Amino acid sequence: MTGSDKQIDDIYEKNDYLEAYSQHTDIRVNEDPKSAIGGMWEEIGLLQYEFMVNKNLQPHHKMLDIGCGTLRGGRHFIKYLNANNYYGMDISVRAIEYANQLVQQEGLSEKTPHLSVSEKNLKFYEFPRESFDFILAQSVFTHLKPEHIKECFENIRHIMHKNSVFYFTYFKGEKYMQTGIKDFSYPFSFFEGLAEQHGFKLKDCAEEYNHPRGQLMMALSKE
């Protein structure tokens, strides 16, 4: 945990969880933008990029990167996709500020990525007229409580068309468990139940995604 332990504990005690998580991430970005969103900058950035390309992400596709952070993976997607096709959102103001700086530093401004500080929810009101071919949430559900994930499943349909696919990672456990101040694990049945409830098809992609810290990949699509 970065920042003083007492400072971080106070943030989580005095704020709603997502507000606290946002403030905590801001502190981490100020200390080290590349480790703030989990570290392993090169390895995991390339891992998610190569996975999505192997899943037929093509330059003309429109992609939403939920919890894009400081563009660990996003910078690869921005380079690869056609201009205007990358959308990244994060609840951390400092992460998005750094992401915009990185776009400038790496000469990617001409790709005109859309980077935004999201509302502290997963209702996707930020995109009233948008739908995406591919949606990715790498290391997002690993830091969310059940009510936040349920909210995502309730609303993500609004930004998907009939052929869209939503990929997300999670930590698997025998039951729901909070394993750290901002770390959570879930059984497969949790996502299976939500998919059935909301009329989605769920596919386990774990064997295709060799995450170094054991996160598993799932795919959600409209039935």
Q: pLDDT tens, 96-122?
A: 999 999 999 999 999 999 999 999 999
pLDDT band for position 183 (50/70/90)? very high
Q: Where are the alpha helices (DSSP H) in 86-145?
A: 93-105
Give per-residue pLDDT as tens, 8-52: 999 999 999 999 999 999 999 999 999 888 888 999 999 999 999
Supply the pTM of this predicted model.
Answer: 0.96
Per-residue pLDDT, 2: 47
What tokens does 103 get?
């776009």
pLDDT band for position 65 (50/70/90)? very high
Q: What does the pLDDT average to over 149-160?
A: 98
Q: What does the pLDDT average to over 184-188?
A: 98
> Is the Cβ–Cβ distance between 189 and 176 less than 8 Å?
no
- Kindly tell me if the per-residue pLDDT of 135 is higher than 60: yes
Q: What does the pLDDT average to over 50-74?
A: 98
Selection from 67, 63, 68 nearest residue 111 by Cα: 63
- HSE-up of residue 34 (Cα within 13 Å, Cβ side): 8
Mean residue pLDDT across the chain: 95
Measured CA to CA, the distance from residue 128 to residue 3 in angstroms comes to 37
CATH of domain 40-222: 3.40.50.150
Q: What does the pLDDT average to over 201-214?
A: 95
> Is the Cβ–Cβ distance between 77 and 86 less than 8 Å?
yes
What are 148-151's contacts with CB under 8 Å, separation 24+?
Answer: 148/17, 148/18, 148/121, 148/122, 149/122, 149/186, 149/190, 149/191, 149/194, 150/194, 151/121, 151/122, 151/123
Comparing 4-8, 56-60, 86-90, 100-104, the range with the smallest average pLDDT is 4-8
Selection from 27, 22, 34, 39 nearest residue 143 by Cα: 22
Phi and psi dihedrals of 37, rounded to 5?
-110, 30
